[in-house]
Amino acid sequence: MNVAIAGGTGFIGTALVRRLLERGDQVLVISRNPANVRDGRGIGWDAAEEIAAADAVINLAGENVGGGWWTAARKRRIMESRAHATTVLVDAIRRRPAPGRAFISASAVGYYGDRGGEILDETASAGDGFLAGVTRRWEELARNAGEAARVVILRFGVVLGVDGGALAKMLLPFRLGFGGPIGSGRQWMSWVDREDAVRAIEWVVDHHAARGVYNVTAPEPVTNREFTKALGRVLHRPAVIPVPGFALRAALGQMAEEMLLGGQRVIPGRATAEGFVFAYPTLEASLRHVLRR
């Protein structure tokens, strides 16, 4: 299979590219610097014909929402990076309609906004906030490929891996014994092991009946307090020093409110109903896998 991936050098993309290469696929990595691509073959964003010829186009591109303070300029870059990448890919796909082609576009559980303990599957409505607005727009643009490909939108939870994402930022204070819940600790965290995230992408590529939205989250979301306790157990470190919510609000503003102090209790309703099996369905199993414990 010929697969084109935008965002193929990122936290999820790097693992996905390697998995697809291992199974014998030809992988094109769309990059602003194709010569720097190490795994797969690098192509530029202007390679519309090669993108259009792919059997599957996977869109993981977008500026890291947790990479810095949400200034007005940064929020604009977060939105525009997703809008631009998705529009370029959709335009390329629409040049050569092929019903058998898959267009798989990333989204995030931020789509649902801060919903407390409400259980959310793919039928739940969009929420409020900056991240909800970004993901709504991202998904709307992806759906424009619907007449030229089968469109699958994957709403990722917090992806767990030791070399990137939220977990990598948490490890040092926990290993030093300074870890603990954030704010009240009652906010829900919908998470997924990176290996399962990659397997889910592979599954929708191969599962030709897959269309529409899928939550890519483990079937057992946890509260932040439960998450920190599990991480402390796996690392054999205490996890009792809370991070005050007021300090995070003062330091990070809206970013803290939406990403750290708010949350979503999301379940992967469609994937599990349609036969996808998570290799790491429980948090402690995932943490032990990721941390090699």
Q: Where are the domains of the chain?
A: 2-290
CB-CB neighbours of 240 under 10 Å? 13
**Res 23: pLDDT:** 96
What is the dotted CATH code of the domain comprising 2-290? 3.40.50.720
- Cα→Cα distances 96→5, 70, 89, 147, 288, Å: 17, 38, 12, 10, 45
SS3 state at 19: helix
Quick check: 201 and 276 in contact, CB under 8 A?
A: no
**Res 32: pLDDT:** 94
SS3 state at 221: coil
Nearest to 133 by CA among 169, 82, 194: 82
**Res 38: pLDDT:** 94
- Residues 287/61/28/212 CA torsion (nearest 10 deg): 80
CB-CB neighbours of 190 under 10 Å? 25
Helical H segments across the chain, by residue range: 11-22, 48-52, 72-95, 130-142, 165-175, 194-206, 224-235, 245-252, 254-255, 269-273, 283-290
- Cα→Cα distances 274→64, 118, 203, 211, 227, Å: 30, 23, 11, 11, 28
Nearest to 271 by CA among 222, 193, 209, 189: 209
The residue behind tokens 């030093």 is 176
Query: Tens-of-pLDDT digits for all 293 residues of the chain?
Result: 999 999 999 999 999 999 999 999 999 999 999 999 999 999 999 999 999 999 999 999 999 999 888 999 999 999 999 999 999 999 999 999 987 899 999 999 999 999 999 999 999 999 999 999 999 999 999 999 999 999 999 999 999 999 999 999 999 999 999 999 999 999 999 999 999 999 999 999 999 999 999 999 999 999 999 999 999 999 999 999 999 998 889 888 999 999 999 999 999 999 999 999 999 999 999 999 999 98
CB-CB neighbours of 11 under 10 Å? 17
SS3 state at 239: coil
SS3 of 145-175: the string is HCCCCEEEEEEECEEEECCEHHHHHHHHHHH
**Res 68: pLDDT:** 84
CB-CB neighbours of 176 under 10 Å? 9
**Res 52: pLDDT:** 94
Nearest to 85 by CA among 61, 68, 109: 61
